[in-house]
């Protein structure tokens, strides 16, 4: 299921080149990912009750177009694939004209919070990949 949020680029997110600093795009994607989990009925507390955490292990990002202060950006999150203990979510950031600003595939692994070892993706998360 695809979800999205819209943000406005703030002055503190701009670098010396006058556009959004590259690291901020990862933050935008994290905000969208958190929103995705919540809309899937999987807020942080739900994972904690299952003794499961999610750990980002890989981010493959492509920067396509610069964004500047005051622009409104829409960040979407969607499922790509699920493995035994890992899963991939895709993010796209688009400007108000619908142009692709950045895109990334983010791989996460589910872990046992006490043992700090990977575990099978829980059924509650598996079902959103069906």
Which are the catalytic amino acids? 15
Nearest to 66 by CA among 36, 24, 111, 108: 24
**Pairwise CA distance, residues 81 & 98, whole Å:** 25
**Alpha-carbon separation of residue 94 from 10, 33, 34, 75, 76 (angstroms):** 16, 15, 18, 7, 8
Tokens of 117: 């070892």
Alpha helix (H) ranges present in the chain? 22-39, 44-49, 123-126
Q: Are 73 and 67 in contact (CB under 8 A)?
A: yes
């Amino acid at each position: 299921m695809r979800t999205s949020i819209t943000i406005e680029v703030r002055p503190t997110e701009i670098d010396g080149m006058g556009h959004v600093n590259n690291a901020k795009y990862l933050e935008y994607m994290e905000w969208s990912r958190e929103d995705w989990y919540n809309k899937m009925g999987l807020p942080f507390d739900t994972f904690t009750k299952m003794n499961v955490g999610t750990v980002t292990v890989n981010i493959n990002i492509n920067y396509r177009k610069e964004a500047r202060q005051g622009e409104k950006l829409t960040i979407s999150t969607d499922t790509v694939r699920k493995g035994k203990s890992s899963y991939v979510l895709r993010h796209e950031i688009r400007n108000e004209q619908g142009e692709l600003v950045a895109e990334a595939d983010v791989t996460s692994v589910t872990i046992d919070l006490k043992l700090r070892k990977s575990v099978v993706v829980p059924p509650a998360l598996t079902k959103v990949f069906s």
